[in-house]
Structure 1
Amino acid sequence: MSTTATVTQTVNADNILHLFPDVNTSLASSHSVPTSDAELTGYDEEQIRLMEEVCIVLDPEDNPIGSASKKVCHLMKNINDGLLHRAFSVFLFNSKNELLLQRRASEKITFPDMWTNTCCSHPLGVPGETGSELETAVLGVKRAAQRKLDHELNIKKAQVPLDKFDFLTRIHYLAPSDGQWGEHEVDYILFIKADVDHAPNPNEVQDTRYVSQSELKRMFEEKNGKFTPWFRLICESMLYEWWNHLDNGLERYLHEKDIRRM
């Protein structure tokens, strides 16, 4: 699995509109995706609708410089030209310190059928989920995490309160899904320990599994295992060290200011 591609230029507030006319330099509640869009022909109707959601467009230092549809942000032709957006990844552990994994639905447009961490998505360009300073951005991604845990897994906000999420760090990575779609994100890593009730939304998630560290390592050893690139990157870098300190010493890893470039 390759996570390499060519980014041809650095995108900033001065050149964003010249490079990407479809970007809105303010934040908007939705971007229309035409139903006749040839690039989305043949995909699931609900997943096409979700391509209208608004992602927060960034410069390389995680400063918001506009907004664009999920579709625009995930086309490789735009990613290769430097378009970058904000994302988050939730790692939810139960009281046994087992990690809840999900396997993405076949209907997903990017990275279908792959195992990944509990929930991965994007804060939207809407009040409450944006932020220019790190503190407000972290609060925004925590709110987005609550929203998507409910949408994907029917985990209600009461079981995952905002103050129980721990922000660790941000990773900047690029990964193609196929020739047309991919990811280029500054991904906020959130840990939460909670015993929750969950029931997967089948249009988003086809399977879930709680795993120990040893069980997860065995999954990666399986010949036919398929994992999202961001999850693999996190597992190959810091996940197990963080996991080892889940109950004792995690605070030393929290609120990292620097962005990890992967």
Structure 2
Amino acid sequence: MTPYISKKMLMRRFARTLWSNNFKPGKRFMSSDPSKPAPDQNATEGVEPTQMLALDKDICLLVDEKDNMIGTATKRVCHSVGPDGHVPLHRAFSVFFFNNRGDMLLQRRASQKVTYPDYYTNACCSHPLYIDGEPEDIITAARRRMNHELGIPLDKMDPEMFTYLTRVHYHDPGDGVWGEHEIDHILFFQSDVKIKPNSDEISEYCFIPKSEFNAFIPTLEGPLTPWFNMIRRHRLKLWWDNLHRIRELAEPDKIQKFLSEK
């Protein structure tokens, strides 16, 4: 049985930033030490240089409305909002991470992120990439990014631990400069594995019990990402209530279309 945790306790827990405990500024929590790229002298003010480099280095997968790959484009192109509000449709994934008690990890995106800085969202949101002439598998991409963002060793994330639930097609113009238009593959992951978040990606985090979630959301000091908010309103309760039999609810062949509140 999950112990009761008051709203005040949760707020204190979320307010505890990653600069505590064993976290050190600038340290990378990768399974091996990555090479540090040279700073981008033309980086947008306030944006972390490594993320600016990724805008042109990372090659994302362009898709049609049935999620068929139709080409590739840089991350910059895939998130740039055109004069008419158009953003190229591309493939993405979102991981919802639960501990073995059934509490869900909620994180706040770092202020130096290019898209949706300081927004609250689910554990890990990113893209499969085009690597060595091949499109990356969704779960392979999820493991790569959870290693990078949350510091979880790859050997603690067996592919069989992920449940591929469904896909969500959504569009959001963001701030009018950077936005989203994605077919988002939704993955659930449950484990008590320890995490060591990367401060370039995540500024705050906590595990929230299901019983406290609805009361906790209005206390947050920033907005929710559009994809997380749509899933929260349309599917999260159903999935969370059935975490013990989540594979039975999987609909990997479907593409859901949810309306934004905007």
Structure 2: runs of 5+ lacking an equivalent: 1-39
Deviation at 1:224, TM superposition (A): 4.1
> What is the rounded CA distance, in whole Å, between the counterparts of 2:133 and 2:189 in structure 1?
20
> What is the rounded CA distance, in whole Å, between the counterparts of 2:209 and 2:133 in structure 1?
34
> What is the rounded CA distance, in whole Å, between the counterparts of 2:255 and 2:133 in structure 1?
22
Kindly tell me: are residues 79 and 63 of structure 1, through their superposed partners in 2, closer, same or farther at Cα, counting changes over 3 Å?
farther
Percent pairwise identity: 40
Counterpart residue number, 2:256: 260
Deviation at 1:225, TM superposition (A): 3.9
Kindly tell me: are residues 198 and 85 of structure 1, through their superposed partners in 2, closer, same or farther at Cα, counting changes over 3 Å?
same
Question: Does the 8 A contact of 1:55 with 1:68 survive in 2?
Answer: yes
> What is the rounded CA distance, in whole Å, between the counterparts of 2:54 and 2:87 in structure 1?
22
> What is the rounded CA distance, in whole Å, between the counterparts of 1:129 and 1:259 in structure 2?
23
Amino acid corresponding to residue 252 of structure 2 in structure 1: E
- Please provide the CA RMSD for this pair: 2.0
1:42-99 per-residue CA deviation (whole Å, 9 max, x = no partner) reads 2331110111211100111101011110000000118834510000000111110001
Is residue 211 of structure 2 the alignment partner of residue 214 of structure 1? yes
| TM-score normalised according to structure 2 size | 0.77
Q: Secondary structure at the match of 1:103?
A: strand
> What is the rounded CA distance, in whole Å, between the counterparts of 2:219 and 2:210 in structure 1?
15
Deviation at 1:196, TM superposition (A): 1.0
Deviation at 1:208, TM superposition (A): 1.2
| TM-score normalised according to structure 1 size | 0.77
Matches within 5 A, 1:88-107: 88-107=93-112
Is residue 111 of structure 2 the alignment partner of residue 111 of structure 1? no
Question: Does the 8 A contact of 1:44 with 1:107 survive in 2?
Answer: yes
> What is the rounded CA distance, in whole Å, between the counterparts of 1:236 and 1:242 in structure 2?
12
Of 198, 214, 228, 1:231 maps to 228
Counterpart residue number, 2:16: none
Question: Does the 8 A contact of 1:129 with 1:144 survive in 2?
Answer: no
Matches within 5 A, 1:1-262: 41-42=44-45, 43-52=47-56, 53-77=58-82, 80-81=85-86, 83-126=88-131, 130=135, 140-222=137-219, 224-248=221-245, 250-262=246-258
Structure 1: runs of 5+ lacking an equivalent: 1-34, 132-139
Amino acid corresponding to residue 222 of structure 1 in structure 2: T
Q: Which fold has the larger relative contact order, with Cα–Cα distance below 8 Å and residues 6 or more apart in sequence?
A: 2
Runs of 4+ in 1 over 3 A off after TM superposition: 78-82
Kindly tell me: are residues 219 and 186 of structure 1, through their superposed partners in 2, closer, same or farther at Cα, counting changes over 3 Å?
same
Question: Does the 8 A contact of 1:129 with 1:141 survive in 2?
Answer: no
Count residues with an aligned counterpart: 217
Q: Secondary structure at the match of 1:76?
A: coil
Question: Does the 8 A contact of 2:80 with 2:179 survive in 1?
Answer: yes
Question: Does the 8 A contact of 2:85 with 2:173 survive in 1?
Answer: no
1:109-146 per-residue CA deviation (whole Å, 9 max, x = no partner) reads 10001111010000001259727xxxxxxxx1100000
